């Protein structure tokens, strides 16, 4: 079993709050993390119809059957449990880490917990595997394009399972549409929503254009906005907001769209092999998507906000990512395998505009060695995830 970086964060939250919810996309390992960290805690799943009906009929009595707490999987399937849990927490002494709630439907789980458990619950957002996790487990390998093409969902890296990526991703999308999306939109629009996801894939790594998406899909701009919110809340995509830092009105105000998993992105782009990815016009965008996702994972595994933006002005100057952590980094993502000075041209220009000697320049590239050259940190792909740690900032000093 691969040790998850979020383990320490889950334990930290469980030492403070009586209820902790683990959210994230389907198949990201939420239940595996909870049961692995707390192997002695009772586990119940509301996927079991008998258990579900028992809990719904008398949620207060149901909870009393677990005096030491429990891991409750698919908790959103019994909404009544949350009010009963609130009363239980309020009427008894404060017991941190007593109940852990997980579920595949992020919308209902988070809404129910936020509505009922304010001040009593904390959330951990768990994304698929990260490069550091696979590196520590000894299964990372050296073929970066194979990894980017396959993506990071845990089942695709399980040696006991032999999924064909195409079949797995098709099943994943079908399940997502049927179980998560169908309850949020008109069921008659499911086929249109599938097309919408496909169109969004073409925009990954680019400025979001709701008008072009609306035209390609054949729906209104307000519908596109609503559907983008669904994709973002279910951890299919992430929107990166523009960074202004008071640099003037010439700064672009439109966010950039990124998919959370590069493997799902490649599937939607119909890139069936890593060779097709390498030769594709989408290669740069996919590599950038992978890099942004790695930074997001490391921050979220620490229980922190990603704090990632990007910079682009109307004169054409663009910096792929601005990471506002303990130290601020202007980061360019390149699919080059050699650290060349020209790769840092935009970050150096951005630093000149900011006139802040505390901001550092970094280039994420596909080489094997992380090094500092002329004030710019060139970060090898195996270090992209760990770069997001505040502790790693000392590497640039």
Q: Tell me: the pLDDT tens digits for 120-155?
A: 899 999 999 999 999 999 999 999 999 999 999 999
CA distance 80 to 284: 47
Q: Annotate 268-300 with b (16+ C-beta within 10 A) or e (fewer).
A: bbebeebeebeeeebbebbbbbbbbbbbbbbbb
252 pLDDT above the threshold of 50: yes
Confidence of residue 156 (pLDDT cuts 50, 70, 90): very high
**Among the three residues 107, 125, 143, which one is the final residue of a domain in this structure?**
125
For residue 183, what pLDDT is reported?
81
Among 26-40, 247-261, 270-284, 362-376, the minimum mean pLDDT is found in 247-261
**Among the three residues 100, 125, 150, which one is the final residue of a domain in this structure?**
125
For residue 207, what pLDDT is reported?
95
The answer on 166 and 290 residing in a single domain is: yes
Q: Is residue 1 part of a domain?
A: no
Q: Which domain holds residue 321?
A: 308-396
| Of 129, 126, 125, the residue nearest 152 (C-alpha) | 129
Confidence of residue 250 (pLDDT cuts 50, 70, 90): low
CATH code of residue 57: 3.40.50.300
Domain total of the chain = 3
Confidence of residue 356 (pLDDT cuts 50, 70, 90): confident
The answer on 271 and 238 residing in a single domain is: yes
Q: Is residue 302 part of a domain?
A: no
Q: Is residue 2 part of a domain?
A: no
The answer on 204 and 93 residing in a single domain is: no
Q: Tell me: the pLDDT tens digits for 160-201?
A: 999 999 999 999 999 999 888 888 888 889 999 999 999 999
The answer on 135 and 118 residing in a single domain is: no
Confidence of residue 108 (pLDDT cuts 50, 70, 90): confident
For residue 163, what pLDDT is reported?
96
Q: Is residue 177 part of a domain?
A: yes
The answer on 143 and 279 residing in a single domain is: yes
The answer on 184 and 76 residing in a single domain is: no
The more confident residue out of 167 and 107 is: 167
Q: Compute φ and ψ for 183, nearest 5 degrees.
A: -80, -10
CA distance 308 to 306: 5
CATH code of residue 213: 1.10.10
Strand partners, 312: 318
67 pLDDT above the threshold of 60: yes
**Among the three residues 273, 296, 319, which one is the final residue of a domain in this structure?**
296
Q: Is residue 281 part of a domain?
A: yes
The answer on 216 and 79 residing in a single domain is: no
The answer on 323 and 360 residing in a single domain is: yes
The answer on 292 and 197 residing in a single domain is: yes
Q: Annotate 83-117 with b (16+ C-beta within 10 A) or e (fewer).
A: ebbbebbeeeeeeebbbbbbbbbbbbbbebbeebb
The answer on 273 and 162 residing in a single domain is: yes
| Mean pLDDT value of segment 61-73 | 95
The more confident residue out of 76 and 8 is: 8
Mark residue 316 as left, alpha or beta (left: phi above 0; alpha: psi -120 to 50; beta: remaining).
left
């Amino acid at each position: 079993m691969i040790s998850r970086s979020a383990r320490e964060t889950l334990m930290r939250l469980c030492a403070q709050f009586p209820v902790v919810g683990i959210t994230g996309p389907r198949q990201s390992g939420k239940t595996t993390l909870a049961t692995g960290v707390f192997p002695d805690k009772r586990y119940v799943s509301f996927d079991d119809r008998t258990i579900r009906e028992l809990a719904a009929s008398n949620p207060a009595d149901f909870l009393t059957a677990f005096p030491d707490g429990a891991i409750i999987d698919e908790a959103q399937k019994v909404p009544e449990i949350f009010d009963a849990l609130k009363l239980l927490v309020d009427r008894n002494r404060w017991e941190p880490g007593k109940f852990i709630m997980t579920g595949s439907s992020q919308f209902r789980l988070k809404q129910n917990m936020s509505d009922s458990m304010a001040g009593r619950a904390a959330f951990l957002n768990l994304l698929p595997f990260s490069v550091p996790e696979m590196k520590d487990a000894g299964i990372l390998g050296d073929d970066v394009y194979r990894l980017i093409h396959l993506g990071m969902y845990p089942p695709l890296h399980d040696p006991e399972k032999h999924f064909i990526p195409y079949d797995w991703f098709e099943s994943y999308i079908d399940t997502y549409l049927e179980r998560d999306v169908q309850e949020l939109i008109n069921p008659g629009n499911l086929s249109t929503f599938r097309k919408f996801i496909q169109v969004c894939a073409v925009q990954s790594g680019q400025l979001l254009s709701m008008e072009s998406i609306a035209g390609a899909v054949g729906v209104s701009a307000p519908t596109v906005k609503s559907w983008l919110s669904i994709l973002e809340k279910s951890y299919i995509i992430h929107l990166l907001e523009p960074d202004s830092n008071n640099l003037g009105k010439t700064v672009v105000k439109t966010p950039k769209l990124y998919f959370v998993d590069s493997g799902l992105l490649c599937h939607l782009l119909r890139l069936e092999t890593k060779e097709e990815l390498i030769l594709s016009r989408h290669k740069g965008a996919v590599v950038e998507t992978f890099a942004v996702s790695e930074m997001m994972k490391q921050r979220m595994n620490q229980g922190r906000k990603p704090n990632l933006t990007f910079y682009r002005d109307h004169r054409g100057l663009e910096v792929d990512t601005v990471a506002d952590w303990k130290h601020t980094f202007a980061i360019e993502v390149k699919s080059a395998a050699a650290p060349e000075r020209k790769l840092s041209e935009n970050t150096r220009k951005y630093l000149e505009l900011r006139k802040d000697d505390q901001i550092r320049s970094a280039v994420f590239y596909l080489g094997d060695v992380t090094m500092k050259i002329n004030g710019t940190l060139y970060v090898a792909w195996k270090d992209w995830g760990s770069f997001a740690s505040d502790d790693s900032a000392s590497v640039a000093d």
